[in-house]
Chain A
Amino acid sequence: MFIVQVGTLLIALVYYGNAQTSIVAVNTTIPGSELSANGLKQRAAVVVPQSPVFHPGLRSQFSLNLLSAFPEDLEVSDYCFELLAIFGQRYSTYVNCLVSAARPVKVCQNCYGTYSNLMEIYKNISSDQMGPGNVSCRDSLLRSDRLMLVFLLYNNLEDIWTASECNRCVSPGHHSLTNDTLYFMATLNQSLSCFEKYQKQGNHSELCKECKATYRGLNELYSRMEKNHTLCIDIEDSMNMTRILWSKNFNCSFPRAETVPVIAVSSFMLFLPVIFYLSSFLHSEQKKRKLIHPKRAKSNTSFMNIQDKFS
């Protein structure tokens, strides 16, 4: 029954993924969109086992029937089934990890290990090296039908990984987080502990003053990392949260303090053209045009209306 669970989860995930993308695309708050996604998940869980056609549990029976129907060379080997099972297992582990690390975002720090496992097994499946018994699982698992489910599933997760830019925070080989990331986390913790310390006193202006140095250090580090392209979603999100704390909750942004000098300088500047135009109007000699009287058979050099000729 393990496969059943994985299957339902997978289907639910695909639905969930679609629902997510549609929310992003519309980018407006459709009330209950979150609910509907959840609902879908539940519905999938409820509906699937009851339906005889899509019941994954029946797969073994069907496959038995089919196996007898197909000739030997189209059969999926046991080795590949094994790989598929491992893929499913690792897949669900990774997805579980992702969901639990969704808010606040910690998908890179928490799930890089599971992702690397998943990647490894997928690499095995998709490699063109022959397994035992001279079979390649790539063709039988990945490319034999229109849906290409395994590929699709993996692709979705890979997209999530790419979009979260986790590669920038995880060392090559996915063994650990990069030093930069760890350093950032340490700096962040410094700031947060400072916030915590002064927050207890309930005096935000004190907090703004005392934590400014660490906060600014954090900000500088962040912008340095931004320039180096070493930011992943975890860092971005935690920085965002810290900034919101700092600006909105503690209200430590800069106040608009020098309205008077700005107004003074700008009204002086705006006054200059008035002086300029007035003085040029009064002092500059008005440019006159010399009228030329052209040679005409009839003399009509004056400014006139000649339409009413026949009136």
Chain B
Amino acid sequence: MANITKKVSWSSRGDESGGGERTPLLNGSEEIRITRQLSGDGGMFHIGRLSTVDLEEDLTSEEDTVRGCPKEIPHNEKLLSLKFESLDYDNSENQLFLEEERRMSFMGFRCLEISRWVVCGLIGFLTGLIACCIDIAVENLAGVKYFVVKQNIEKFTEVGGLSISLILWAVLNSAFVMVGAVIVAFFEPGAAGSGIPQIKCYLNGVKIPRVVRLKTLVVKVFGVICSVAGGLAVGKEGPMIHSGAVVAAGVSQGRSTSLKKDFKIFEYFRRDTEKRDFVSAGAAAGVSAAFGAPVGGVLFSLEEGASFWNQMLTWRIFFASMISTFTLNFFLSIYNKKPGELSSPGLINFGRFESESVAYNIYEIPLFIVMGAIGGLLGALFNILNYWLTIFRIRYVHRPCLQVMEAMLVAAVTATVSFTMIYFSNDCQPLRPDQSEDYPLQLFCADGQYNSMATAFFNTPERSVRSLFHNPPGSYNPLTLSVFTLTYFLLACWTYGLTVSAGVFIPSLLIGAAWGRLFGILLASITPNGSIWAVPGKYALIGAAAQLGGIVRMTLSLTVIMVEATGNVTYGLPIMLVLMTAKIVGDYFVEGLYDIHIKLQSVPFLHWEAPATSHWLTAREVMSAPVTCFKRIEKVATIVDVLSNTSTNHNGFPVVVPVAASDDPGKICGLILRSQIIVLLKHKVFVELARSRLTQRKLQLKDFRDAYPRFPPIQSIHVSQDERECMMDLTEFMNPTPYTVPQETSLPRVFKLFRALGLRHLVVVDNENRVVGLVTRKDLARYHLGKHGLEEMQLAQT
């Protein structure tokens, strides 16, 4: 018997009552369900309820008085939001589908295959083009900004009044960031952040509202330009992945619902299964454009969405990645007035690590592993700090105007801190002709020298990373680097999670490169003849890898991305070891940053495996019951009422054949989706009408596709009083062979089925094939392994 013996973290939710109100509330909610067709609160469910006899039930029975009014708790990470739905990866093999397949010729399938390739090529091309636009825009805007500020600083260094330069810098930063934050906060909140968590969720099978819309893409691109030009501690690489995914989702549909333009092409791809494949290609193309790493892009998609995979798809994704990096390269070469010289494959260019001095030796590997451990620790610290900050933001900084203000403040403070650092730095270095200091600041240095702190702060983050990797030994002194690391760590941690679209890759790399270089310098100073092999640039690279690995905890794809971005395969082993160590050390403390943010957004995310120690849970305990079912031929009024019921926003309805005793649940004969019913209602496919109008056009699969992906809500469909009395025949449209499991199936088994097939609904039946429950994504995602064993998350309205 399930005795609930322990409760955790009551303190965080003071207004939460004990577990005792559960039973009353269940009853309460059942009272509300008056329109339910099958109120099958039969013996089956009492068994379930009895099996969870709670010893504390009596203690808190006075809570009965508050039943009916929903509990409110502060946001925390142990919630599942109702607004997220699953994607329909499972193909509905109804009669319409079979008919269409029969009609399609051999050539038709050939053309489909070819058009898949065409779409992938287009995805790669457009993604590369977008990356190119972002790069050029950021470069020019930041160039103008730094030029103005530099002029101003130079002027005021001489005549006095540097605090005015400080204010100018802060105001310019805030202005850029304000534009970026306003468009994100007021027009498309979905474009905030790096977008990688959202794409991870999408590939996992969660439909995040508005995540692959054209509007999101536009806001994302402009937002990232503004935030990078605004000098925040952010990068433009993460948003590239999201942009690629949106491009893919748009191109593959052959139309834009936002622009209300339908090109009447690629109609076959208008369903979730096909779209998901293209989105993974788009994400790969995004990675590829961001880092110049086509293989890394493919592996990124593989790592994030690997449960739905095949070899041809991989090949197509690789094609999209290659096209994307080539396009970026080609257009940038034209922009740089060297057409055809393909030397900038990615947005971030690590430069080449080719000289002999950056080769590593076998005795350095333990050092690299130590650096990996440091990266893991720092990454865990970063994640923990960011976690608390994000919780605070969700709870208190949720109004758009507050979010804009916060972003502006961060921008101003970033400028202030940078300026103060530069102002008080005494680290002067001679200018070199070969060095690419774009905006060298002299300030109080001797003529012909520049302020070394300014190369790190007074620059776009990408360039700072590159100078940390490649500037010759002696370009930075240790004090500068340690102050920079500390400041940038805090700034980056504070910045991630703001309502601007921006990525965390570059800041992580920058932090890591700074302390890695510091590590290299210290190493060179403690070893007797260390200056020969302890090249700071090499350690900067390893440090960057360690820090990035410690924060995002990606493994395979990150290794390949780093190797490809450096263009040096011999670094494969050290980078792999470093990322491994960073992940192991970091995972001991806290999850990766993206996983934390996924959790904080209350997304029902399914991990690779069901939580360990969950084999004793069976489908009966996991499932939702009772199930709202429809009969094969159902009255329109019933259907409309069920769909309109806002308290039960169900999406899948088993179609049953009623058994003799009306109280018992019926035998399953199919499954129909809300979206399908809505299309049916819209076209008024009623039995009576079909009889009266014999010439009525038969509904085709095309009608369902035309409505995809934005099916109208039930409220927008008008059903007259007469029509309510009609009947609907669902036989033709339902999926006649839904997946079912018996009640005794264990949770890991259900989980595996769900994860591997990408299911949305899994019907639980008893031994007579009667529907007893329905397992959805939220039922599975709520179990997770916490500190005290298996814990359950709550459903919440967000």
Contact = CB atoms under 8 A, between A and B. Distances in A.
Contacts of A219: 447
Contacts of A309: 1-3, 616
B402 A289 contact: no
Given A300-B52, A304-B4, A304-B7, A270 B26 contact: no
A50 interface: no
Contacts of A254: 157-158, 443-444
A289 B796 contact: yes
Given A244-B446, A255-B444, A304-B792, A299 B5 contact: no
Given A266-B166, A303-B78, A292 B791 contact: no
Contact of B446 (A247, A298, A300, A302): A247
Contacts of B416: 265-266, 269-270
Given A280-B402, A295-B29, A297-B773, A287 B396 contact: yes
A31 interface: no
Given A28-B531, A253-B445, A291 B74 contact: no
Interface in A168-195: none
A248 interface: yes
A41 B14 CA distance: 87
Interface string B156-190: 01101111001100100000000000000000000
A52 interface: no
Interface string A266-308: 1001101100110011001011111111111111111111111
6 contacts: A256-B423, A262-B420, A276-B409, A287-B398, A292-B794, A297-B45
B3 A311 contact: yes
Given A262-B423, A287-B74, A292-B82, A297 B8 contact: no
B449 to A, nearest CB: 8
Contacts of B5: 305, 308, 311
A6 B620 CA distance: 100
Nearest to B67: A293
B96 interface: no
Interface string B22-51: 110110010000000000000011011101
A253 B405 CA distance: 39
B6 interface: yes
Interface of B: 1-9, 13, 16, 18-19, 22-23, 25-26, 29, 44-45, 47-49, 51-52, 70-75, 78-79, 82, 157-158, 160-163, 166-167, 170, 392, 394-399, 402, 405-406, 409-410, 412-413, 416-417, 419-420, 423, 443-449, 472-473, 531, 613, 616, 620-621, 623-626, 648, 772-773, 778-779, 786, 788-792, 794-798
Contact of B413 (A262, A269, A304): A269
Contacts of A284: 396-399, 402
A89 to B, nearest CB: 34
A273 B73 CA distance: 27
Contact of A298 (B49, B396, B786): B49
A264 interface: yes
A160 to B, nearest CB: 16
Contacts of A72: none
B394 A287 contact: yes
A20 interface: no
Interface string A237-264: 0011001101110000111111001111
A273 B417 CA distance: 13
A303 to B, nearest CB: 6
A293 B796 contact: no
A305 B396 contact: no
Contact of B796 (A255, A292, A298, A311): A292
Nearest to A280: B396
A265 B167 contact: yes
Contacts of A134: none
B621 A272 contact: no
Given A253-B445, A286-B74, A291 B794 contact: yes
Contact of A296 (B26, B413, B445, B791): B26
Interface residues of A, number: 57
Contacts of A272: 409, 412-413
A131 B170 CA distance: 73
Contacts of A60: none
A296 B51 CA distance: 12
A303 B794 contact: yes
Given A253-B447, A265-B166, A258 B773 contact: no
B29 to A, nearest CB: 6
A27 interface: yes
Nearest to A255: B444
Q: Identify which of A240, A270, A307 gathers the most chain B CB atoms within 10 Å of its CB.
A: A307
Contacts of A289: 72-75, 79, 796-798
Task: Pick the 3 closest A-B CB pairs, nearest first.
Answer: A307-B789, A247-B446, A297-B48
Nearest to B167: A265
Q: Identify which of A276, A284, A301, A306 gathers the most chain B CB atoms within 10 Å of its CB.
A: A306
A296 B419 CA distance: 58
B45 to A, nearest CB: 5
A238 B452 CA distance: 24
B72 A291 contact: yes
Contacts of B616: 309-310
A254 B648 CA distance: 72
A295 B774 CA distance: 10
B158 A306 contact: no
B238 to A, nearest CB: 24
Contact of B162 (A248, A262, A288, A301): A262
Nearest to B81: A289
A215 to B, nearest CB: 9
Contacts of A266: 166, 416-417, 419-420
Contacts of A262: 162-163, 166, 419-420, 423
Contacts of A308: 3, 5-6, 789
A288 B797 CA distance: 9
A302 B790 contact: no
B792 A300 contact: yes
Nearest to A310: B616
Q: Identify which of A243, A254, A277, A294 gathers the most chain B CB atoms within 10 Å of its CB.
A: A294
B485 to A, nearest CB: 19
Given A264-B163, A305-B6, A311-B3, 10 more contacts: A254-B157, A280-B397, A287-B74, A292-B797, A295-B625, A297-B44, A297-B620, A303-B8, A304-B4, A307-B613
Nearest to B430: A240
Contacts of A28: 531
A290 B413 contact: no
Contacts of A300: 22, 52, 621, 792
Interface string A47-77: 0000000000000000000000000000000
A309 B531 CA distance: 61
Given A304-B791, A308-B789, A257 B74 contact: no
Contacts of B794: 291-292, 301, 303
A80 to B, nearest CB: 40
A57 B625 CA distance: 108
Given A253-B446, A298-B52, A293 B624 contact: no
Contacts of B792: 300, 303-304, 306
B49 A299 contact: yes
A284 B394 CA distance: 11
A163 to B, nearest CB: 11
Contacts of B70: 290-292
A219 B154 CA distance: 14
A297 B395 CA distance: 33
Contacts of A304: 4, 6-8, 19, 791-792
A296 B48 contact: yes
Q: Identify which of A239, A302, A310 gathers the most chain B CB atoms within 10 Å of its CB.
A: A302
A194 to B, nearest CB: 16
B369 to A, nearest CB: 28
A97 to B, nearest CB: 24
A269 B160 CA distance: 20
Contacts of A255: 444
